[in-house]
Chains A and B, each alone.
Chain A
Amino acid sequence: MATPASRSQVLALYRSLLHHSSKFAAYNFRDYAVRRTRDAFHAAKGEQDPAKIQSLIAHGEKQLEIVKRQSLISQLYGGEKLVVETKHQKILRRH
């Protein structure tokens, strides 16, 4: 089977997902992508089964591709801010 995933590989994927998720121009998609990434990684934190970890990483990599493409599209057509947004951006600035 595939080599076991290293901690750094998982962390790199996590950071990359958060980074690209925060690029959605649309507030709701941006918030969802960041939150869903965090929740998914936290939920899988204690996973021990190497095969399961491998399939989770494969899933994450697929999501990363989608987020990269879709955040770009969101930037192309979006941009008008929602009334709740001004406060919100401070929270996301960490990424």
Chain B
Amino acid sequence: MSFTRLLQPARSLRSMQPALLARSAVPRFVVSPAVSAFHTSAKRLQAQSAQTVITPSSESLGFSVSEVKDIQNTRPIYMDMQATSPTDPRVLDAMLPYMTELYGNPHSRTHSYGWETEKGVDQAREDIAKLIGADAKEIVFTSGATESNNLSIKGVARFYKGKKNHIITTQTEHKCVLDSCRVLTDEGFEVTYLPVGKNGLISMDDLKAAIRPDTALVSIMAVNNEIGVIQPLEEIGKLCRSKKIFFHTDAAQAIGKIPIDVTKMNIDLLSISGHKIYGPKGVGALYVRRRPRVRLVPLLTGGGQERGLRSGTVAAPLAVGLGEACRIAIEEMDYDHDRVKRLSERLINGIQSKVSHVYRNGDEIQSYPGCVNLSFAYVEGESLLMALKDIALSSGSACTSASLEPSYVLRALGAEDDMAHSSIRFGIGRFTTEEEIDFVVSRVVAHVDKLREMSPLWEMVQEGIDISKIEWAQHA
């Protein structure tokens, strides 16, 4: 069927509408019978025919068990942009040709199938490089920021092993950076984990004091994934360059959201993730400086693709998607930032004007407004998350949200246990609307009030008792 047929104006179909209404889940948006014939939804795609059989046991005590049916026909609104972001339709549009017609291996040199794919991958490389002020030759495609972080930390450390055995990082890094460092400790390296202040920022004096003659690498993230603070990259870069130490930054949460320039900031290695910037999942990039040259031991060996740093065929559709996401980010950064900032203020003011004892974690000025981490005193974060089932939220990083442990990032800020337990992270992005923010504010306000009403602690606070001074009786 030709494309124009599919896109018939809705008006001409008005006469058919009663029939359409009955058949389709979304009659208002169906413009063509063809679309409604092929329409499917995530729910239908994931539907399972297998049924769970529950046999009542003697312990059931007369309580009956029934299957929980998903009667809700609406989806929650998405406010977890730090975990992942929706793929921008423009990105998908750039990727689709490479998932259908243009399937050549970008490393094939002998035919046009290879050349056309290589052209797309090269364009993507250019766009990524442009976003961070680098040269296209300095970009290496990886599977994501986790691989980029692993490659840069392990790669640099292993290459310079023997002469240099020391690495500096911070306590609030992403798990994959901390874990790479832990692996290196087993291999005989020494790692310094810099503390952060109450605002989440490192102190330059601490960094200066930690640097040793055998320091190989400093790895400090640009924007924190849990509290959104922006570390002083330019100062760190300047210091590292003056001491001839390589500076790696995990910029997964920063790229496309705040301006980053690897030359101005003296960054030697920089990790990029696709799905945090409205690109596809499963792709990332690593910037590796050429002058002065940074040398790495690769994690993967094989065909020697990507300058030998990352063997394996480049995932061309994903790489093209990442490139397009970066190109859009260059165009839209100012527009997005203004908007995210406005929505962020609307959210914080909305909540703080109606609920007392709400504290924002992380520095208020040196932070990305799209990541708002709030602690609601005297409310248990997990209970609030459960209550807010209409909103997709998280209490911190997606990697640790399965455990009920308070976030190590908030602990590093010196937050008391109860405050770390009562925190929720709100992620605002390109596609968040005013309406969603107002909805979140109204739900949060209602549920925090309700949960506090049930809390004996809150009652005591209202009566003027200082909870921190209470000596709780121990259970023997």
Contacts and interface: CB of A to CB of B under 8 A. Distances in A.
B431 A83 contact: no
A69 B93 contact: yes
B76 interface: yes
Interface centre among A81, A82, A87 (most CB of B within 10 A): A82
A72 B77 CA distance: 22
A84 B335 contact: no
A8 interface: no
Interface in A58-93: 66-85, 87-89
Counting chain A residues whose Cβ lies within 8 A of the other chain, the interface size class is 20 to 34
A84 to B, nearest CB: 5
Interface string B1-43: 0010011000000000000000011101111000100111111
A80 B7 contact: no
Interface in A24-71: 24-25, 27-29, 31-33, 36, 39, 66-71
B42 A77 contact: yes
Contacts of A70: 89-90, 92-93
Contacts, number: 94
A84 B78 CA distance: 11
Contacts of B35: 72, 75-76
A42 to B, nearest CB: 12
A28 B78 contact: yes
Given A73-B92, A85-B74, A79 B431 contact: no
Nearest to A19: B9
A81 B29 CA distance: 12
Q: Main SS of the interface on chain A?
A: helix
B432 interface: yes
Contacts of A72: 6-7, 31, 35
A50 to B, nearest CB: 22
A25 B6 CA distance: 15
B74 A25 contact: no
B215 to A, nearest CB: 45
A24 B390 CA distance: 22
Contact of B432 (A28, A76, A78, A87): A28
A59 B78 CA distance: 30
B431 A28 contact: yes
A74 B73 CA distance: 18
Interface in B141-163: none
Interface of A: 23-25, 27-29, 31-33, 36, 39, 66-85, 87-89
Interface of B: 3, 6-7, 24-26, 28-31, 35, 38-43, 73-78, 86, 89-90, 92-93, 335, 390, 430-433, 435-436, 439
19 contacts: A24-B29, A25-B29, A28-B86, A66-B89, A66-B90, A69-B93, A70-B90, A72-B35, A76-B38, A78-B41, A80-B42, A80-B43, A80-B73, A81-B26, A81-B73, A81-B75, A83-B75, A83-B76, A84-B439
